[in-house]
A and B are shown apart, each in its own frame.
Chain A
């Protein structure tokens, strides 16, 4: 492997971090309405009477933070899935986690499940958990240890099966419910407060602790399982950690923003173009850049059709689709 020394990549990781912080700070300055920033921070006006401050602190800032959380988490999960499956086309959604999460959300919306703990997000987490459990059981039932090939096949099949169930559930709903369910699938970061972010934060934090531990094992796994085990890696343990960590991250991100596409695949590829393939660089750089990217996409989604919103998943797809084709045809 021609991995450049890690020190050369550190400035790039730092630049991605700056981009993320900059995006979170700048995004709340734009929106469908015009607000006065001076008035936002004017302490003389009580918060309850200060519409500008409410728009800034209740609508825009949590939304930017949610976009950063979801974007960074999906990008990191993409990196881990691509490393685990040794497949550059893997996304956070390849193994059926998001299909499970979506199924949970569809059931909650269509059957109007009202729970005192909030309706759709817990249902989508439950669906994600179900999908992960099924895929893991399938991948391990006939194999001592862990087969990534079976994992991939089981995940892709489950994805298709859950997608069929999603259509079935949607079909059971009436027009209004089906429309809202479809809309959920397009991704929405309008969290209107910090509760959804705080709910997902512990799960995301746990996933990132696992990712931090995984960076070095993923480097060795990319050489192949046998090569990795000769270098002293407990391959099955690393694969299991990668699978559960990335699934946890994906489930948490989808429960906040819906299954927003392309972030988890184009961000890791872009980052690898710049920093190489060392996961100690790719993981943090993808996390920060993914966060900045999604904050930017959501800002576009908020303003292009104002006062109506464009679903953020459409923005990421419009940016991501052509980029992906370019990646496919570009000179190697």
Chain B
């Protein structure tokens, strides 16, 4: 799923695990970020079912597809005879049905960046890969701390983090407010969220609000589908409608079309690095090799690099 969706769906806190049970061998995960975690800790071969929005890692696409967060196909799910279902805390209907069916559950919720590695540890512990999960979580936390260090002391550009708008028009613009993992990612990458005073995951930004906040950088984060380089180039030009914005005058308009900036999974550090690279060009070194902390390749932001940097 384009996990931008979470932005509307999130509740608070990391919650809930039942006491130690036998190591599961048939796992279903109904949230793409968790699927990524399961594969990243080496439990991917035991995953038998995923949500319909899962597409990473590519192996996940070969598993049975069970629908999405609000409408999972319980019948297909039960037919897989899972011995562990990992569900999001707000899936209360699904949770009660699976409980009645006697399927062991791991429920979790997360809201902010720090919760992601906590969930990773939780998931790892439950599937018997504590060591891998702890090591990976620690590595992710180290990498994030590293990025924070590399951008520390630099001026933090006031940034509008746009997470949705009408295609080919600057209307219906939604941006990250001052709570949630996307806001945290932006701050970790050395940006100052232009809308951090709005204590919501996302808000609709009117033309007036955008002009009044005078963002120095406009960072758009979209799922990759449909964003060809030609379209990225074309849609960047739309922002010329606001010629007075510092971000427009200095051509600091970036359209990131990689889901690493949208999915609160183990690749989140790659997303933060991508943001940091556009916010502070040259300050952040690339991760070792062409891959991030998880060992999976990361699509660069080349297609969306601005034509010039100030």
Q: Does A280 contact B (CB under 8 A)?
A: no
Residues of A283-311 at the interface with B, using a CB-CB cut-off of 8 Å, are 302, 307-309
Q: Return the chain B residue nearest A123 by Cβ.
A: B167
Per the bound structure, the CA–CA distance linking A109 and B234 in Å amounts to 18
B69, A190: Cβ atoms under 8 Å?
A: no
Report the minimum CB–CB distance from A204 to chain B (whole Å): 19
Chain B residue contacts of A49, Cβ below 8 A? 244
Question: Are A180 and B172 touching (Cβ within 8 A)?
Answer: yes
* Chain B minimum-CB-distance residue to A192: B207
B209 within 8 A of A: yes
Cross-chain contact B207 with A184 (CB below 8 angstroms): no
A3 within 8 A of B: no
Question: Out of B2, B174, B214, B231, which one reaches A174, CB within 8 Å?
Answer: B2
Judged by a CB distance under 8 angstroms, whether B225 is at the interface is yes
Q: Which of B5, B6, B163 has the most CB of A within 10 A?
A: B5
Say how far A258's CB is from chain B's closest CB, in angstroms: 9
Q: A48-B249, A308-B198 are in contact. Are A120 and B166 (CB under 8 A)?
A: yes
Contact A119 B2 (CB under 8 A): no
Central interface residue in A113, A119, A192, by most chain B CB within 10 Å: A192
**A58–B207 contact, CB under 8 A?**
yes
Flag the segment in B128-136, B235-243, B289-297 that touches A. B235-243
Are A309 and B212 CB-contacts (below 8 A) given A112-B225, A120-B171, A176-B164? no
Counting CB contacts under 8 A, is B204 at the interface?
yes
A175 within 8 A of B: yes
A55 close to B167 (CB less than 8 A): no
- Does A38 belong to the interface (CB within 8 Å)? no
Kindly list chain A residues whose C-beta atoms are within 8 Å of the C-beta of B310.
Answer: none
A54 and B242 contacting across the interface, CB-CB below 8 Å:
yes
Question: Is A179 engaged at the interface, CB distance under 8 Å to the other chain?
Answer: yes
Contact between A188 and B172 (Cβ–Cβ < 8 Å)?
A: yes
**Beta-carbon contact of B172 and A175 below 8 Å:** no
- Whether A176 lies near B244 (C-beta < 8 A) is no
Interface residues of B in 1-26 (CB under 8 A from A): 1-2, 4-9
With an 8 A cutoff between CB atoms, is A108 at the interface?
yes
Does B68 interact with chain A (Cβ within 8 Å)? yes
CB distance from B105 to the nearest CB of A (A): 22
> Complex: how many Å from CA A188 to CA B69?
28
- Whether A58 pairs with B211 at a CB distance below 8 angstroms is yes
B301 at interface (Cβ–Cβ under 8 A)? no
A180 to B235, CA, bound (A): 18
| Pairwise interchain contact B1-A174, C-beta atoms closer than 8 A | yes
B75: A residues at CB distance < 8 A? none
Chain B's closest residue to A117 (CB) is B168
Indicate if the CB atoms of B207 and A190 lie closer than 8 Å.
yes
What is the distance, in angstroms, from B121's C-beta to the closest C-beta of chain A?
26
Interface residues in B286-307 (C-beta closer than 8 Å to A): none
Contact B68 A174 (CB under 8 A): yes
Q: Does A119 contact B167, Cβ atoms closer than 8 Å?
A: yes
Q: For window 147-173 of chain B, which residues contact chain A by CB distance below 8 Å?
A: 163-172
User: B212, A179: Cβ atoms under 8 Å?
Assistant: no
CB distance from B27 to the nearest CB of A (A): 23
A77 to B4, CA, bound (A): 39
Chain A residues near B8 (CB-CB < 8 A): 175-176, 179
Chain B residues contacting A174 (CB-CB under 8 Å) are 1-2, 4-5, 53, 68
How far in angstroms is the closest Cβ of chain A from B81?
28
B208: Cβ under 8 A from any A Cβ: yes
Type the 1/0 row for A315-332, where 1 means its CB is closer than 8 Å to any CB of B.
Answer: 000000000000000000
B208 contacts A60, CB within 8 Å?
A: yes
Q: Would A121 and B206 count as touching, CB distance under 8 A? A: no
| Residue positions of B touching A, CB distance < 8 A | 1-2, 4-9, 53, 68-69, 71, 163-172, 174, 195, 197-198, 200, 203-204, 206-212, 214, 225-226, 231, 234-235, 241-244, 249
18 contacts between A and B (CB under 8 A): A32-B208, A33-B212, A47-B243, A51-B212, A58-B241, A112-B225, A114-B226, A120-B171, A174-B4, A175-B5, A175-B6, A175-B7, A175-B9, A175-B69, A176-B8, A177-B2, A188-B171, A192-B207
A residues near B (Cβ < 8 Å) are: 31-33, 47-51, 54-55, 58-60, 63, 108-109, 112-121, 171, 174-177, 179-180, 183-184, 188, 190-193, 196, 302, 307-309
Closest 5 pairs between A and B when the two form their complex, measured CB to CB = A175-B5, A119-B167, A192-B207, A59-B208, A59-B207
